[in-house]
Amino acid sequence: MKRTAPILALLLAACGAPQDHPRCESDAACAAGQVCERSGGDGVCVTAYRLALTAPAAGTWVGGSVDVSATVEVLLASRAAPASIELLAGGQPAATLARDPSSGAYQGSWSPGAGTAGAVVLEAVAARGTHAEQRSASRTVQVDLGPPVLSAVAAACTGGCRRDGRLRVTATVTEPNVSAVTATLDLDAARSVALARQGATDQFAADVELGSYPFPHFERAVQVAVRAADQAGHQASAVASTQVTRMRWVYAAGAPVTSPAVMADGTLVAGVSATSEQLRAVNPEGTEAWRLTIGSSFITAAPSAGAAAIWVGSEDGRMYGRLGNGSTIRYPTAEPLPAATLFTPAVDGADVAHSTSSARRLYAAKADGSLGASSPLGDAFSGSAVVDQSGKLRAATRTATDTAAVRAFTFDGAAYTQDWSTTPTEASTDCTRIDAPLAIDAAGNAIAACGNGQIFRLSPAGAATFLVRLTGKADGSIAVRSDGDLVVGTNDNLLHRLTPAAGGGHEERWTGAVDLGAGVTGVALTARDASGVDLLAVTSGGGLYAVDGETGAVIWSTDGMSPPPLGVAALRFPTVAPALAGKLPTAHFGSADGNLYAVVVDGALDAAAPWPKAHHDVRNTGNAGSPLP
């Protein structure tokens, strides 16, 4: 016994057993979990194994089969590592964990039985049913075997979904262990939006700003996939659909309507081909603000807006101004007047409105009542005046045989002086009637589109340079890009981008002119958007085309839509109003069908372009020096 005691002490210390552990003659004398280990003649009750669960982690959500692993430390040299151990779930055998000879770890899988839910206690056990049985510390996992129940999935916007509208996505999720509810629009499959629980209910909702998504379409059905996931990783999904359109609103004027001038507060003012109530103001949301009778003749040219008045030319030969207080002035006041068309007035830096007349006159007016007029010219004006960066006026005239001239005028506050008159000519062919408004480039040159397809550049001193001859004529103003290229739409259905040619003159920048299927009646340049659109074009057939100005590719259009959203009559030039709070910009088009259309676009009017649209800016001032939005 004296020789045995030190050996037993060492054994007990190695096993982590207390020195006063009971001596034994057999395993039956030991407590559960211990065996009688002998050294020499005496035996002592000791623990044979130490176990630890290593996976799954405590608190893990289990939704099906889960990997389980454990370690077994053998505390007695006389014992070998068991070939397998067991997993207990809720105290009941649930799985066998086999030993991996290479790592010594015990691994297996456990699948909760049907109907299992909530907290389940897991333990690893070795040598179950013997005196050597030893269990690991327990850990609790959460079991959820059923997927969420997803219902009542919907996606809609109040009043219909505009391209820049707010889409409300809602869903009912019946699931006590929800981890996430998300919505994904097929406009961007890589992006999801989280739906939030509405109070203590099973309702989830999110507001999605459609304007933040790419939308290279005029209109299309947008698919919204809603997914609900629980803590255990189960998912349920459902899809809702909603129609998204760029059409913001339509104002019915009742007769052919011009494109509008846009006031500082967003109000639109347009003219109507009617004998009364010809001047209409429309709020940014499409409701009428006011209407005003201007004489008894049609208004066929777009209004312009100065700081103190809205100016408009009438078919009765007069220019009218609506002042800020609602009163109206007119010029000239003499009766009778010859039948004449007055074109869109240009507004100079002194807030003087200048209107050309087909009766060979050039009129000036100010809101304070001071007026001026030119002496009758030998030729009639054929389009509106424009103002260059120096404050001089340019305007086109025509002879009785439609030979065109471009003229420059200086206004001294009371009278006009003609500075020069040039009939552009190329290879002995004179420019014919110029109906499209002139454009002014960054250097102060006027760009004129002749009725025979010729395009000329006229310097501030009146020297004409031939640029190109197209197969059709431009009915709308040429747009001048920031790089100096010209964008021209012609009545033979073609849209051109013209760039300086190596040998002089201009040539097509794109592979070829783009056929828009009907005569092009107006173009406008916009800031380049995420889809590559930086050019809008409208046609005599009611078509709207959004074009990549770099390549000439049509990114989206109304082509082929039934019914045609913008009608089938001629659209006037685009006016792109700045974005209102929380919205994208809006392009407005007057139409010969009697409607004023408002369409959501992604880019504002291109402020880097010297002449981005007819009459230059959103107020239609025709003034190259007017700031752009």
pLDDT at 25: 86
- The model's confidence at residue 282, banded by pLDDT at 50, 70 and 90, is very high
Asked if residues 308 and 289 have their Cβ atoms less than 8 Å apart, the reply is no
Asked if residues 179 and 173 have their Cβ atoms less than 8 Å apart, the reply is no
pLDDT at 369: 82
Rounded to two decimals, the pTM is 0.87
pLDDT at 8: 46
Structure tokens at 397: 């005239």
CA angle in degrees (0–180, nearest 5) for 340-445-628: 80
Question: Mean pLDDT throughout 205-213?
Answer: 97
pLDDT at 175: 95
* Least confident stretch, 7-11, 265-269, 321-325, 616-620: 7-11
Asked if residues 203 and 181 have their Cβ atoms less than 8 Å apart, the reply is no
What are the Cα distances from residue 73, in Å, to 9, 34, 91, 166, 220?
A: 21, 14, 22, 62, 66
pLDDT at 3: 42
Percent of the chain topping pLDDT 70: 96
Percent of the chain topping pLDDT 90: 84
Q: In the CATH scheme, what is the homologous superfamily, with its name and number, of domain 154-245?
A: Immunoglobulins (2.60.40.10)
- The model's confidence at residue 623, banded by pLDDT at 50, 70 and 90, is very high
b/e per residue 499-523 (b: at least 16 CB within 10 A): eeeeeeebebbbeebbebebbbbbb
Domains of the chain: which residue ranges?
Answer: 1-47, 50-72+79-145, 154-245, 247-600
The answer to whether domain 50-72+79-145 and domain 247-600 are alike in fold is: no
CATH fold of the domain at 247-600: Methylamine Dehydrogenase; Chain H (2.130.10)
pLDDT tens digits, residue range 99-109?
A: 999 999 999 99
pLDDT tens digits, residue range 365-406?
A: 999 888 888 878 899 999 999 999 999 999 999 999 999 999
Alpha carbons 458 and 84: distance in angstroms, whole number: 96
Alpha carbons 464 and 452: distance in angstroms, whole number: 16
Question: Mean pLDDT throughout 120-137?
Answer: 93
Please list, in sequence order, all residues whose beta carbon lies within 8 angstroms of the beta carbon of residue 167, skipping any fewer than 6 positions away: 155, 156, 157, 161, 185, 207, 208, 209, 210, 222, 224, 242
Q: In the CATH scheme, what is the homologous superfamily, with its name and number, of domain 50-72+79-145?
A: Immunoglobulins (2.60.40.10)
pLDDT of 128 > 80? The answer is: yes
Beta strands in 293-369 (DSSP E): 304-305, 309-313, 319-323, 328-331, 346-347, 353-356, 362-365
Structure tokens at 324: 């800020």
Question: Mean pLDDT throughout 161-179?
Answer: 97
Question: Mean pLDDT throughout 608-618?
Answer: 97
583 CB neighbour count, 10 Å cutoff: 17
* Least confident stretch, 43-52, 474-483, 506-515, 520-529: 43-52
Question: Mean pLDDT throughout 42-64?
Answer: 93
How far out from the chain centre does Cα 288 lie? 27
DSSP 502-530: TTSSEEESSSSPEE-SS-EEEEEEB---T
pLDDT at 335: 67
Asked if residues 311 and 345 have their Cβ atoms less than 8 Å apart, the reply is yes
pLDDT at 17: 43
pLDDT of 610 > 90? The answer is: yes
- Higher model confidence: residue 148 or residue 331? 148
DSSP 2-59: TTHHHHHHHHHHHHT--TTPPEESSGGGSPTTEEEEEETTEEEEEE-EEEEEEESPTT
Closest CA to 94 of 60, 128, 50: 128
pLDDT tens digits, residue range 3-46?
A: 444 444 444 444 444 445 688 888 888 888 888 988 777 889 99
pLDDT of 426 > 50? The answer is: yes
Closest CA to 21 of 40, 42, 44: 44
Closest CA to 269 of 226, 306, 317: 306
Alpha carbons 119 and 23: distance in angstroms, whole number: 41
- The model's confidence at residue 131, banded by pLDDT at 50, 70 and 90, is confident
Closest CA to 408 of 398, 423, 418, 422: 418
pLDDT at 77: 85
pLDDT tens digits, residue range 339-361?
A: 788 999 999 999 999 999 999 98
Alpha carbons 346 and 354: distance in angstroms, whole number: 5
pLDDT tens digits, residue range 551-591?
A: 999 999 999 999 999 999 999 999 999 999 999 999 999 99
Phi/psi for 6 (5° steps) reads -60, -35
Q: Between β-strands 319-323 and 520-525, what pairing exists: parallel, antiparallel or unpaired? A: unpaired
pLDDT at 336: 63
